[in-house]
């Protein structure tokens, strides 16, 4: 087999993995989910989910990836010999392609907004909902930006692990933090900002309904990139000397920090400008540009904001693509460039169809959903939770406890005090909570609404 790449430094490995986790899930989805689910109580449950379900499943994926240093299919074959578990890699690869297809449509919107912000189009309007509606339903603009985004994605992927993925993450992740902090300070300086802070941090525990709790679990899943074998694939490039537990905790902490900072960047400004936090998915495309339009320095802020979103999202799509690229190159023996190209072409075709769901194909429905909604629904609500159950059961029940201990301790070199609680979470807590998310995704709890 061709020699395999490895991240050069521990920081590089963490930056790339945080790059995968930090994405639209943090900056787009987390604030609007918090907004529609009533604020602080949602955040409280979210943090709990990260702790008892998120970190254990990250570790589970890391154990499989780093132990084998292989793509998902090869890794599963090695971890559960003779058990046919590697068939599950098909689910991971299909799910990753479905996610990248609809995710890159939203990334295309970000590029359009970045372009509009630079060219003055955003500043020149006052009707932001019309701007958004006109753009997404135009027959070619959405497609054009989606394809362009995927092309940019390809350019990074084809440069490979160290010169492409790691180098980009090393530059973009620190820059993203700096920009976020600048936005948070700016948002906190707006008059009446305190209302936004109260909304986020003073929980009303009576607001916790099963619906809120299950929404928070689903969000934790998506945001931490769990269940897709994305973390497995990245950890297959970790060094044998990295501490898996430390890496997992760092990724979960940083991802959560970015989500909370994204809230701090958005809610105080939303309250200060008399907007409502419950706008849903349109929050950052309609509400924020309206706020920037009224702020001093809004022109520059809008450009920086959409640039920040672009950085967050491309480091995530790169990681989704890497799942199939590792598979194509190691199992089908394609070289890196061909594997990246194959991934890009498939994503471009499906991404185009998803982009058209808002325009000429809006009447084309399967199970009552447009393609965009169907891909989102199938991957986020069905395939990701299924992957989460799979990896927690695999590492909690199937793989020998000694192997897990050996891998977490780097063959006895590190002391791991958390093995027991970790295994408990993997065997019981995670599968149980994920089954709940799963049933919720299938609409079993509709009656609770």
Binding site for ligand PHE (CB under 6 A): 20-21, 23-26, 99, 222-223, 225, 228, 230, 316, 319-320
CB of 375 to ligand PHE, least distance (A): 13
Which tokens go with 404? 């897990």
Q: What is the Cα–Cα distance from 431 to 392, expressed in whole angstroms? A: 7
Nearer to ligand PHE, 103 or 145 (CB): 103
Nearer to ligand PHE, 221 or 271 (CB): 221
CB of 319 to ligand PHE, least distance (A): 5
CB of 24 to ligand PHE, least distance (A): 4
CB of 156 to ligand PHE, least distance (A): 15
CB of 74 to ligand PHE, least distance (A): 20
CB of 449 to ligand PHE, least distance (A): 25
Nearer to ligand PHE, 27 or 143 (CB): 27
Which residue(s) pair with 366 in the sheet?
A: 369
Nearer to ligand PHE, 117 or 314 (CB): 314
Q: What is the Cα–Cα distance from 46 to 220, expressed in whole angstroms? A: 6
Nearer to ligand PHE, 104 or 319 (CB): 319
Residue 2's region, left for phi above 0, alpha for psi from -120 to 50, else beta, is beta
**8 A C-beta contact, residue 255 and residue 11:** no
Q: What is the Cα–Cα distance from 408 to 399, expressed in whole angstroms? A: 13
Element holding 169 (H helix, E strand): helix 167-188
CB of 165 to ligand PHE, least distance (A): 13
Nearer to ligand PHE, 28 or 292 (CB): 28
Nearer to ligand PHE, 27 or 147 (CB): 27
Rg of the chain (C-alpha set) = 21
Q: What is the Cα–Cα distance from 89 to 328, expressed in whole angstroms? A: 12
**8 A C-beta contact, residue 320 and residue 107:** no
Which tokens go with 346? 């498939």
Q: Which of 34, 19, 30, 417 is nearest to 250 (CA)?
A: 19
CB of 22 to ligand PHE, least distance (A): 6
Which tokens go with 234? 């990245």
CB of 221 to ligand PHE, least distance (A): 8
CB of 308 to ligand PHE, least distance (A): 13
Nearer to ligand PHE, 39 or 227 (CB): 227
- Do you know the residue count of the chain? 449
Nearer to ligand PHE, 25 or 277 (CB): 25
Which tokens go with 363? 């009447």
What are the angstrom distances between the C-alpha of 137 and each of 115, 131, 144, 205, 356? 17, 10, 13, 40, 8
Which tokens go with 398? 């199937």
Nearer to ligand PHE, 92 or 275 (CB): 92
CB neighbours (10 Å) of residue 89? 22
User: What crossing angle do the helices spanning 244-272 and 401-408 adopt, rounded to 10°?
Assistant: 70
Q: What is the Cα–Cα distance from 100 to 414, expressed in whole angstroms? A: 37
């Amino acid at each position: 087999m061709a020699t395999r790449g490895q991240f050069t430094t521990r920081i590089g490995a963490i930056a790339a993995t945080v790059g995968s986790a930090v994405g639209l899930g943090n900056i787009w989805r987390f604030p609007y989910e918090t907004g529609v689910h009533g604020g602080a109580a949602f955040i409280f449950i979210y943090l709990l989910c990260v702790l008892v379900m998120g970190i254990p499943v990250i570790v589970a994926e890391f154990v499989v990836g780093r132990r084998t240093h292989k793509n998902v299919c090869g890794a599963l074959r090695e971890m559960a010999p003779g058990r046919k578990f590697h068939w599950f890699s098909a689910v991971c690869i299909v799910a990753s392609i479905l996610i990248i297809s609809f995710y890159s449509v939203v990334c295309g919107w970000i590029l359009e907004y970045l372009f509009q912000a630079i060219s003055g189009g955003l500043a020149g309007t006052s009707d932001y909902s019309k701007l958004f509606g006109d753009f997404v339903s135009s027959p070619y603009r959405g497609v054009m930006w989606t394809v362009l985004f995927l092309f940019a994605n390809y350019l990074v992927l084809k440069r490979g692990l160290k010169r492409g993925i790691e180098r980009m993450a090393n530059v973009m992740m620190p820059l993203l933090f700096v920009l976020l902090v600048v936005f948070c300070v700016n948002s906190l300086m707006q008059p009446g900002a305190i209302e936004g802070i109260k909304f986020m941090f003073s929980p009303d525990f009576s607001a916790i309904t099963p619906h809120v709790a299950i929404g928070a679990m689903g969000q934790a899943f998506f945001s931490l990139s769990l269940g897709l074998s994305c973390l497995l694939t990245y950890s297959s490039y970790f060094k044998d000397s990295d501490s898996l537990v430390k890496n997992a905790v760092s990724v979960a902490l940083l991802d959560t920090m970015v989500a909370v900072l994204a809230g701090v960047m958005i809610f105080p400004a939303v309250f200060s400008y008399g907007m409502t936090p419950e706008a849903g998915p349109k929050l950052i495309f309609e509400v924020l540009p309206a706020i920037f339009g009224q702020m001093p320095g809004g022109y520059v802020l809008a450009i920086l904001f959409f640039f920040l979103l672009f950085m967050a999202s491309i480091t995530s799509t790169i990681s989704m693509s890497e799942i199939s690229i590792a598979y194509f190159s190691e199992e089908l023996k394609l070289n890196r460039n061909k594997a990246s190209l194959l991934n890009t072409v498939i994503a471009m075709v499906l991404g185009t169809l998803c982009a058209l769901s808002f325009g000429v194909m809006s009447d084309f429905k399967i199970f009552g959903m447009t393609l965009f909604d169907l891909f989102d629904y199938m991957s986020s609500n069905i395939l990701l939770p299924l992957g989460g159950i799979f990896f927690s059961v695999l590492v909690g029940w199937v793989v020998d406890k000694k192997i897990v201990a050996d891998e977490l301790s780097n063959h006895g070199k590190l002391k791991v005090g958390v093995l027991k609680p970790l295994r408990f979470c993997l065997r019981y807590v995670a599968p149980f909570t994920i089954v709940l998310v799963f049933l919720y995704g299938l609409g079993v709890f509709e009656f609770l609404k």
